[in-house]
Structure 1
């Protein structure tokens, strides 16, 4: 990473362009006046003062009231701590508001559309976790032979739902039986004629016979670049059709 990349990163962490440039320049200089910083950057000298003052307010720069004024940056470790704390506080305020706004409008809006699309494994993990949490009677969770999509967190959630009295069926490789040996999760084998190898299906989740999530994987020839996209629907005609198709595909493994 060069200085330009570092400045871009500092901007993403909340610094203005001038603040990032002044801070990076002071790290090189050790200490310096507004003139020194101006000469080391393309920041106008008149703007160095305001940027340095803002950095001081954020705990990133120390100021010596001399003539001329001298500026000294805090060590990178201290700056990292300050920016991390500031970022986390800003994030908390933003998501507190979003959560309050969500509760204010209620959860019913999600059922107005027939089908929803979720992209990216992290987002899909979050949606699957929510669907599992909402289950009242029965969960069918299907994974391919490589158990893609069954993260440790989701495995724990399946155990928790089974402990809470929800019927939980995990359809996948028989090797998963050992993983859930100490729980009430029932592990069922995929049908012998179920496709595998380059099968693009990622995971299948059916909750209470009325909500379904189906994901597909785009391997792109490199596991590190693999992407996942899912569709899900609840209490709709589309959900009913998908669940019937899944039921047929699973054969005798389990009736969803």
Structure 2
């Protein structure tokens, strides 16, 4: 047996993160640890793998069988049986492709059943809520992507107009949507201008009334409003309320449009 490290793998955060990442790609925890251990060894027996990992020797065999079925290791019969891992580049490609295929299959099915049992009258679900800055940004970007004629995007500060939203705004502008970004913050307007999108100013005194977080109105039918922690009691993260193609949304779009008309700098 070759010389081993005094401490088994698994004593640091990077190792734990790698194992967690492999489990998200479909491996069991033991399979992930054995796979990492085999790469540390190059080749190894169950006993050697157990030495450099915290996987019991009795569990190494089952994990190795699973890895073999997935095509991630080669097995050499003998006494003892020895294992060799698939090179990292090949394993990466194999796992990513399988994950993509599984995702495609799942979402194709979801798409095929979408709406098959929907209630034609869903007016009771007119207003939706999204929590968390990243989730709010993704929802805002999706609403920008769906805009066909015109939209206004308002943000209190540059942290509320990140890459996902800027990309969506730029693409909307490129396909002919009348896009404008409104803010009292020069950094927000500069970010919009840098992507070729029209930016307009808001009076500083108007900002707290509406732009605690961000606001989006599109095509006179869709609206999103968000608030930040501290602006509303018991809110611990950015929270957005949005509605699309409802009577509520159209009324709110009109009110926000009037507000913008009053407070936009000329």
TM-score normalised by length of structure 1 = 0.73
Q: Which runs of 5+ in 2 are unaligned?
A: 1-12, 231-235
Mapped partners of 2:174, 2:119: distance in 1? 26
* Match of residue 232 from structure 1: 242
Mapped partners of 2:31, 2:18: distance in 1? 12
Mapped partners of 1:7, 1:182: distance in 2? 39
Q: 1:205 to 1:111 in 2, by over 3 A?
A: farther
* Match of residue 143 from structure 1: 155
Tell me if 1:43 matches 2:56: yes
* Match of residue 113 from structure 2: 101
Mapped partners of 1:189, 1:107: distance in 2? 43
Deviation by residue 1:27-72 (Cα, 9 ceiling, x = unmatched)? 4444333344456654353x54332122123232121122332112
Q: 1:252 to 1:4 in 2, by over 3 A?
A: closer
1:215 to 226, 235, 238: 226
Deviation at 1:18, TM superposition (A): 3.1
Q: How does 1:82-161 map to 2 (within 5 A)?
A: 82-102=94-114, 112-144=124-156, 146-161=157-172
2:215 to 204, 217, 220: 204
Q: How does 1:160-179 map to 2 (within 5 A)?
A: 160-173=171-184, 176=189, 179=192
Equivalenced residue count is 243
Contact 1:139 1:206 in 2 (8 A): yes
Deviation by residue 1:90-115 (Cα, 9 ceiling, x = unmatched)? 23332333333336568978755121
Contact 2:206 2:263 in 1 (8 A): no
| Superposed CA RMSD | 3.7
Q: 1:73 to 1:228 in 2, by over 3 A?
A: same
Q: 1:179 to 1:29 in 2, by over 3 A?
A: closer
Q: 1:88 to 1:137 in 2, by over 3 A?
A: closer
Deviation by residue 1:97-151 (Cα, 9 ceiling, x = unmatched)? 333333656897875512101123333233223322333433121122x333323
Mapped partners of 1:28, 1:161: distance in 2? 49
Deviation at 1:214, TM superposition (A): 0.6
Contact 2:220 2:254 in 1 (8 A): no
Mapped partners of 1:89, 1:104: distance in 2? 24
SS at match of 2:243: strand
Mapped partners of 2:73, 2:249: distance in 1? 57
TM-score normalised by length of structure 2 = 0.70
Deviation by residue 1:63-88 (Cα, 9 ceiling, x = unmatched)? 11223321122344544443333333
Q: Which runs of 5+ in 1 are unaligned?
A: 220-225
* Match of residue 54 from structure 1: 66
Q: 1:59 to 1:211 in 2, by over 3 A?
A: same
